[in-house]
């Protein structure tokens, strides 16, 4: 293609941290022709999770367990659903 700039070779990395640091500073358009890429979908891929410790009043936890039991889901799953819904709502209101 006329006027197309040549791309720089992507370096080899010893570790993921090294690669992460490189891409945090590098301009990817110097290394990748984004017009040649295709959209990728991985519907079965679960998002990364992180374990946290959360202190809740016993009455709140009891009520959460009761609601979860009615829906036949683990209370931790119901808590994640409630949190995700509220975060989405808050983010929508900020826009």
Q: In this predicted model, what pLDDT tens digit does every residue of 2-59 receive, in sequence order?
A: 556 799 999 999 999 999 999 999 999 999 999 888 888 888 888 888 899 999 999 9
User: Any idea what the Cα angle at residue 68 is, between residues 64 and 73, rounded to 5°?
Assistant: 145
State which fold the 51-95 domain adopts: Arc Repressor Mutant (1.10.1220)
pLDDT value for 57: 97
58-69 pLDDT tens trace:
999 999 999 999
pLDDT computed for residue 3 by the predictor: 57
For the record, the structure tokens of 33 come out as 């022709």
User: Is 32 within 8 Å of 7 (Cβ atoms)?
Assistant: yes
pTM equals 0.52
pLDDT value of position 13: 94
Task: Write out the residue limits of the CATH 1.10.1220 domain(s) in the chain.
Answer: 51-95
């Amino acid at each position: 293609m006329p006027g197309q700039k040549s791309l720089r070779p992507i370096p080899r990395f010893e570790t993921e941290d090294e690669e992460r640091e490189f891409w945090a500073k590098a301009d990817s358009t110097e290394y990748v022709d984004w017009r040649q890429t295709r959209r990728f979908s991985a519907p079965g891929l679960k998002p990364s999770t992180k374990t946290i410790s959360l202190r809740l009043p016993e009455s709140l936890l009891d009520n959460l367990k009761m609601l979860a039991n009615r829906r036949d889901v683990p209370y931790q799953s119901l808590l994640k659903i409630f949190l995700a819904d509220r975060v989405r709502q808050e983010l929508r209101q900020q826009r």
